[in-house]
Structure 1
Amino acid sequence: MYDVVVMGGGPSGATAAEDLVRSGHLVALLDREGRIKPCGGAIPPRLMQDFHITDDQLVAKVNTARMISPTGRMVDIPIENGFVGMVDRKDFDPFLRQRAVDAGADYHVGTFLRIDRDGGQTRVVYREKASGEEKELPCKLVIGADGARSRVGKAEVKGWDKIPYVLAYHEIIEAPEKNDVYDPVRCDVIYDGAISPDFYGWVFPHGKSASVGMGTGLQEVDLKKATADLRAASGLSDCVTLRKEGAPIPLHPLDKWDNGKDVVLAGDAAGVVAPSSGEGIYYAMVAGRVAATACAATLASGRVKDLQLARKLFMKEHKTVFRVLQSMQNAYYRSDNRRERFVSLCHDIDVQRLTFEAYMNKKLVKARPMAHIKIGIKNLAHLTGLVSAERV
């Protein structure tokens, strides 16, 4: 009888499993294995600090972000007093899973089928990969961290199907040497409707390789063609392609993360990917941690309402940032004219500093109120057309 079965071995599930084991609980971690999520791989210093990730897990350190507008305007934003770490999910996810196993989690490889509750006992039923047989994991609680198309969420949590998504696709390529269009210590973010009419494209360095991709919520967009066009525009068409990956990315946290009795969701299954930026690794790991906290509280108190702590704890710290990012996406991603203005706004030194302070520390910085006021005025001027997008 496990205290908790964690379904999904990505950053969220692996974090939840490790936290629960280290707090003295009996945990099973169930994962499909073999699937690599399309991901730029950026992780901020706060993630490395909060989750004890050391430099040896990084494939690159980025010190500059380049914003590229529909007309080709480029704005380079330096990362002052730090860096953004880059990981490759094909290596990072197995590392996190192994860390949970080393801490004491029982690891099972297979596909989730259903949750049975005959006789009042909760049992996770899965198909074991090695044998092909149906097997059961009896438990008290379940964490569904099985991704954006969560089978646990679909079966157990009301309203799960209401999350908006973008479809993300990327290609991992052999990275070229530094040249006029590619820099191994710079992330390029492309705000161009020709690449993505409603989101953005990216070129992120991964050391010896690089991630080139884009996202969109529009079904009529050909993701592979858009990525090919992005590679051509970035001078990367001739680079060897190592692998290709695609998956949906949720853009809004669920209103309810638990089923009111024995299941709580985490990570992409709960919709915790940041709007506008699409950043997910840090928030997935935080969601795994708060899901583990909620399960520990429920096991200690016997009150199933304590499962609600997962969402409450997450939103208490990150709700405002998510709202600001959603407003930014709604305001600037709707047309190339708006995207042009957004990149123009990024020239502002106050915007640059506060953006990266918020990214690195994962909170809105309140230390410079006048900077916030100035940014608000400039933002309003751009959105109303009072200032030309050509002005810097």
Structure 2
Amino acid sequence: MTYDVFVVGGGPSGATAAEDLARAGKRVAMLDRDGRIKPCGGAIPPRAIKDFAIPEDMIVAKVDVARMISPSGRSVDIHIENGYVGMVDREHFDEFLRVRAAKAGAERLTGTYLRIERDSAGTHVVWRDKASGEERRSLTKLIIGADGARSVVARDEVPGGDTIPYVIAYHEIIKAPAANKDYDPKRCDVIYDGRISPDFYGWVFPHGDQASVGMGTGVDGVNLKEATAALRASSGLTGCETIRKEGAPIPLKPLDKWDNGRDVVLAGDAAGVVAPSSGEGIYYAMLGGRVAATAAQACLASGKAKDLKLARKLFMKDNKTVFKVLRSMQDAYYKSDDRRERFVSLCHDVDVQKLTFEAYMNKKLVAARPLAHLKIGVKNVAHLMGWVKPSWT
């Protein structure tokens, strides 16, 4: 069988691409390594639930408060107005997406990607079947590389794909305690503290009967397990049963090029589409899968490889400014605990809270409140320059 598109990777990005292509009537294969669960806080905004038809039973918790905690232990509670942030457990969420893609008509393959070979017959994906251990060759017109932050497809096929910057994320899924003064099953805690992460943040995110407790860092030498143990201790979660532990790289910057100009296009973490500052990835991964599928369909229709560039063009059209703003925020405030203290203090501001969550929930910057934007800009500069003290000093 010759496939129209062979999707390497069955996470949110790959599964979304495979489903979209199958629903469009394309012959599509989706190759995934069975059993791998990515460390992830699991937050998805209403925009993702709506755009990708996420059913209610996939939402294991509904969060209506985000608590930002500074290095000194001060906190700011940001209440989410007119909605909630949905929480999913990647163990079940990713499998749901793969099953949905298969029901739409994608052929699901379980195994490990090895390489791409080309000959007079065309392009072949070479992979190892998990059940038999045998090497297989699948003929395909196009390939979508959705195989994660250390994408082998990107490394082998796309310029710059082997140099993508990333942080290492680690979390522990624990049995959630009963609600108490330290833990609220409807609240996400984000901890900005150099003792937990010197350049990123830690988190405690509710998952219904479970919770995700973790951190990320790009600094070599940080003991992720010790940092997470310290986070659990400071959050009153040391005695909770540990269900599983997971670690993986998370990319920090979209690649400048997402295709090889021939027959490969990247999607999701492989393309580097995780939001700076927040580390949010699920929505952007699924969007990345969708635009990769759109580009693949355009290429199949026209026969022109240049149409594969449409994936990055579509994604950056709507998200370039948001990513740029978030990158500037991370570069400005994550450098030291003094800066983190000022950042959490800045989050006290009502304008900051409203505009931040409007942008997060709807996935676009809100341009209808220019005065508020101006006020935030002035306050931001004042905090960065040290002209004002944190609001609790």
What is the TM-score of this pair, normalised by structure 1?
0.99
Structure-to-structure mapping, 1:1-392, within 5 angstroms: 1-391=2-392
Q: How much has 1:120 moved relative to structure 2?
A: 4.6
CA distance in structure 2 between the aligned counterparts of 1:31 and 1:116, rounded to whole angstroms: 19
| Secondary structure of the structure 1 residue equivalent to 2:265 | strand
Whole-angstrom CA distance in 2 between matches of 1:174 and 1:363: 35
Counterpart-to-counterpart distance in 2, 1:135 and 1:164: 32
Q: Aligned partners of 2:202, 2:19: CA distance in 1, in Å?
A: 34
Deviation at 1:284, TM superposition (A): 0.2
**Equivalent residue of 2:162, what SS?**
helix
Rounded Cα–Cα distance in structure 2 between residues aligned with 1:217 and 1:271: 15
Secondary structure class of the residue paired with 1:219: coil
Distance 2:58 2:349 in 1: 33
Q: Distance in 1 between matches of 2:391 and 2:199?
A: 22
SS of 2:120's equivalent in the other structure is: helix
Which sections of structure 1, spanning at least 5 residues, go unmatched?
Answer: none
Instruction: Determine helix, strand or coil for the equivalent of 1:37.
Output: coil
* CA distance, structure 1, for counterparts of residue 217 and residue 381 of structure 2: 26
Deviation at residue 369 of structure 1 after TM alignment: 0.9
Q: Give the partner amino acid of 1:281.
A: I
Moved more, 52-61 or 86-95: 52-61
SS at match of 2:248: strand
> For residues 137 and 12 of structure 1, what CA distance do their matches in structure 2 show?
21
CA distance in 2, matches of 1:120, 1:307: 21
The one-letter code matched in structure 1 to 2:376 is I
Number of aligned residue pairs: give it: 392
Deviation at 1:107, TM superposition (A): 0.6
The structural deviation recorded for 1:379 is 0.3
Distance 1:68 1:260 in 2: 45
Quote the Cα distance in structure 1 between the aligned partners of 2:263 and 2:240.
Answer: 49
Query: Could you tell me how far apart the structure 1 residues matched to 2:143 and 2:238 are?
Result: 45
Deviation at 1:137, TM superposition (A): 1.2
Query: How far, CA to CA, are the matches of 1:161 and 1:107 in structure 2?
Result: 27
Q: CA deviation at 1:385?
A: 0.6
Q: In 2, distance between residues paired with 1:315 and 1:113?
A: 30
Tell me, in whole angstroms, the C-alpha distance in 2 between the residues paired with 1:379 and 1:153: 37
User: What is the identity, as a one-letter code, of the residue corresponding to 2:56?
Assistant: D
Give CA deviations for 1:255-287 in whole Å, capped at 9, x if unaligned: 000001000000000000000000000000000
How far is the alpha carbon of 1:162 from its aligned partner? 2.2
Structure-1 separation of matches of 2:211 and 2:201: 17
Identity %: 73
Structure 1 position 390, deviation (Å): 3.7
Q: Deviations over 1:18-54 (max 9, x none)?
A: 0011111110011111100000000000001000112
Instruction: Please give the alpha-carbon distance, in whole angstroms, between the structure 2 residues aligned to 1:361 and 1:158.
Output: 32
Shift of 1:389: 1.4
Deviations 1:277-298 (A, max 9, x none): 0000000000000000000000
Counterparts of 2:258 and 2:380, CA distance in 1 = 34
CA distance in 2, matches of 1:136, 1:163: 28
Code of the aligned partner of 1:309: L
Amino acid at match of 1:206: H
2:320 partner amino acid: K
Aligned-partner Cα distance in 1 for 2:374–2:121: 57
- State the one-letter code of the partner of 2:4: D
Give 1:367 deviation, angstroms. 1.4
Partner amino acid for 1:40? G
Q: How far apart are 1:391 and its partner, in Å?
A: 4.8
Tell me, in whole angstroms, the C-alpha distance in 2 between the residues paired with 1:383 and 1:154: 38
4+ residue runs of structure 1 moved beyond 6 angstroms? none
Q: State the shift of 1:55 in Å.
A: 1.3
5+ residue gaps, structure 2? none
1:342-381, Cα deviation, whole Å (9 max, x unpaired)? 0000000000000000000000001111110110010010
Deviations 1:299-341 (A, max 9, x none): 0000000000000000000000000000000000000000000
CA–CA distance in 2 between the matches of 1:90 and 1:281?
Answer: 13
Letter in 2 for 1:345: L
CA distance in 2: counterparts of 1:115 and 1:164, whole angstroms: 24
Moved more, 150-159 or 295-304: 150-159
Provide TM-score, normalisation by structure 2: 0.99
Per-residue Cα deviation, 1:146-171 (whole angstroms, up to 9, x for no partner): 01111111111111122111000000
